Every structure is written in C-alpha cells, then in structure tokens.
Amino acid sequence: MPWMRSAVSGIRALCSSMLDVFFPVPQLDGERRLLEAPFCERCGHPYWGQIQGRFRCSNCGGRACHYVAARAQYLNRGVVRETIHAFKYRREYWLRRTLGEWVVEGFERHYGAERFDAIVPVPLHPRRLGWRGFNQAEELAKALSRRSGLPVIRALRRLKDTAAQVAMGRRERRSNVRGAFGLAGSGTYRDTRILLVDDVLTTGSTIDECARQLRRAGAMSVHAITVARG
Ligand SMILES: [Zn+2]
C-alpha cells in the first residue's frame, strides 16, 4: 500500500530530523576544553580561580568514598558532549575510535605515574545494551587496554535499569544507583588495583557505587577515568 510506505518514510524522516536537533552529528575539529587543575583531588570537580595545592570539594570533604580518584580528559560541553551523545544515542559506532583516543590521552595525562592491574568498564543494563548494540564504556576500556596492555575484566553487572540521571541532583543520583550494580561472577579481586572506565562523570555516584562493589570483592584500590567531566 503506497500510502503506508509514504507514512513510514515520513515517520523515519521526522525521527531522523529530531535526532539531528537533539543529537547533532559532531564537528570533531571543534574546540575541546581539558579538565585541568585546579580540581577536587577526589572527584575531579573543576574550579576556576587561584587555588593552589591539593584540596577536596565540599561533597568529598566529609564523606567516605570508595574510590581513590576520578579524572577525565575533557569538560563535558560543546563538541565533546555532542560526540558522546552521537555515540550513545545515534549509535554512531565509528566514533569509538575518537572517544577511545580521548580517554587514552586522559589516562596518560592524569595517571601516567600510577600502576593498575585491570580495567573494568561500568556495565550497561542488558535491556539498554540490547537497544544500543554495544556498551560505550567497554569500547573505551578496549582502547585503554590496547594502549596499556592491561586486561579488561567485566567484573560488574547492572542489576537495575536506572532512570536517566541527567535532570537529577546529587542526592537523587546517589539513591538512584544504590543497589544498581553487583558483581558479575564469584571472582575475587584481592590486591587488585582497578581502573574503572565510563564515558561521563557527573557527580561520581555511579563510580562510587561500582567502586563499593569492587572493594567488597577485595580490590585494593579503584581509580576512575572518563572521557568527560560534567
Ligand atoms: Zn570532590
């Protein structure tokens, strides 16, 4: 039926133009801003101004935390944000190379002097993985593994398909991810120095919850690296 075909192609065109509005194809040569000091020594929260030496932000200062440090290559804005969105929501799989290079650069810049034993990607819920076809964090972990020679271990699994956290505050994010992760197997990570990998870090709630699970399984330390810091 011709009318049905034209209706379907009309809907496709509409969906594609909506994608272009919300998640435009990024101009990769656009300006990117590095995450540079001063930032919180724990969560990497950036500051502007004259702050010297090591310090913790008000959120990290008086709170127990399960990871040692979280760092990113860039601030999550402009072309960096667009590239991550296009990778995840437009499923532009070819962007894994660019994002992989960026996370490797961040790793070398922030953790050049650190030693790790394994790379662990933040897992996706199977439902979301089924839709996207790949786990963006795992693609980044593979790029880091190729550069560093460290093994990628799928140590964690996502138990809850948590609501999108974009519009949530710090406290909501923390309760949203509480119990959202578990260990993927019965493995122990005793005396293992783990590098956790994700695409974006905003408040650190996801990283902290993942680190909590890994520490429970015996990990000696957990550091995190992401492409971007919100
Ligand atoms: Zn902090």
The alpha carbon of 28 and the centre of ligand 1 are apart by a number of angstroms equal to 29
Residues 204-215 have pLDDT tens digits of 999 999 999 999
Residues 14-69 have pLDDT tens digits of 666 677 777 777 777 789 999 999 999 999 999 988 888 888 999 898 888 999 99
Residue spans of the domains in the chain: they are 2-229
Nearest to 199 by CA among 89, 68, 46, 38: 89
The alpha carbon of 18 and the centre of ligand 1 are apart by a number of angstroms equal to 36
Instruction: Please report how many Cα atoms fall inside a 13 Å half-sphere around the Cα of residue 43, on the Cβ side.
Output: 26
Considering only the top CATH level, what class is 2-229?
A: alpha beta
Total-model pTM: 0.87
Burial of 219 (0-12, 13-18, 19+ CB in 10 A): buried
The alpha carbon of 149 and the centre of ligand 1 are apart by a number of angstroms equal to 30
User: β-strand 118-121 against 193-201: which pairing, if any?
Assistant: parallel
The alpha carbon of 218 and the centre of ligand 1 are apart by a number of angstroms equal to 24
